[in-house]
Amino acid sequence: MGGGRQCLVTNSSFSPRDPEDVWSCKRKDGKDLVQEWALDKTRRGFSYRYVTHTEELSMVNVENTDFLLGIFANGHTKMNVDRDKGPTGTPSLEQMTSTALQVLMKNKQGFLLVVEGGLIDYAHHRGKARRALDETVNLDHAVENTMALLEQNGILDDTLVLVTADHDHGLSMSGYPNRGNEIYGIAMPSRIDNVPFTTLTYATGSKDNYQYSRHGSGLIREDPSKMDYTSFDYYQQAGILNNEVAHGGGDVPVYATGPMAHLFQGVQEQNYVAFAVAYAARIGPYSNVGSLASSSPTLCILTLAMCLCLLQKCFHLT
């Protein structure tokens, strides 16, 4: 579930409410992969649902649905602060995760669910830290609700839950702000030029983040205290001019609980995570391994789809 209709359906219709996404690819080969997906499920005798907005998702009978496909936008879905929260709008990440989980929990052989909080990355690339933080909160809600659903269904202790990311974004937390200060607020004035700076800044950023002006032979940084730095559309300042905020190379945490959680300890190369997930779920090269923990479902939640991509490339999964 997510966006990407114009990538799946040739000649997708565009409107002011759901315009063409210039950041996404566009199908031009005449195929309609949504229709092909539906025909495949019909031929194989499975029940399925294709949904396009929140109300349709809420009406899905999970007990009578074997496969569920939800496409809610031509390209990227809108961020939570912008999305239409009405019946014909886009469901939240929490709503999509909850419905997917309820469909998958029916499988007594176990399951693998990958959830991507991809708009965190999208917001960072555009240099808007408050939007990225807001999307991170939405991911947290999805994780919290998932844990509650697993407990309600009595499978929490038999389920591996994994939360991680595939990279950082060169976002720094600097300065000495007052206790209780908003994280997206002013940290302190520079002790060199006395111009304030925010707690959150980026190493690289676009012209909107590179807030400097010429003054004689030098540069003067703009004063963020004279801007609405609490706005969701405020561009955090960056030190290096680039076309966008670039990825960073810092280590990211991996949080795990449940069976096989002990595999995710210490410092690891990122491709290790994919193999550890495959081992826990008994898929790919580990599909013939005997009982590892229990026969109950295995769940994997990720902040970004790094593990899914690695699983597909390493083990030719579809």
pLDDT tens column, 79-128: 999 999 999 999 999 999 999 999 999 988 888 899 999 999 999 999 99
Proportion of the chain above pLDDT 70, given as a percent: 91
Higher pLDDT, 288 or 248: 248
Average pLDDT along the chain:
89
Tokens of 285: 């090269």
Cβ–Cβ < 8 Å for 236, 129: yes
- Looking at residues 244-256, what average pLDDT do you find? 92
Q: How many CB atoms lie within 10 A of CB 61?
A: 9
Instruction: Using alpha carbons, list the distances in angstroms from residue 225 to 188, 201, 228.
Output: 10, 14, 7
pLDDT of residue 299: 54
- Looking at residues 19-39, what average pLDDT do you find? 95
**Tokens 């991170």 sit on residue:** 136
Measured distance CA(39)–CA(44) in Å, rounded: 9
Is 242 a residue whose pLDDT tops 70? Answer: yes
Instruction: Using alpha carbons, list the distances in angstroms from residue 55 to 30, 62, 84.
Output: 29, 14, 12
Estimate to the nearest angstrom the gap between the alpha carbon of 12 and the chain centroid: 24
Measured distance CA(34)–CA(77) in Å, rounded: 17
Task: Supply φ then ψ for residue 11, to 5 degrees.
Answer: 60, 45
181: nearest Cα among 236, 135, 229: 229
pTM: 0.89
Cβ–Cβ < 8 Å for 308, 114: yes
Is 294 a residue whose pLDDT tops 70? Answer: no
Measured distance CA(33)–CA(185) in Å, rounded: 46
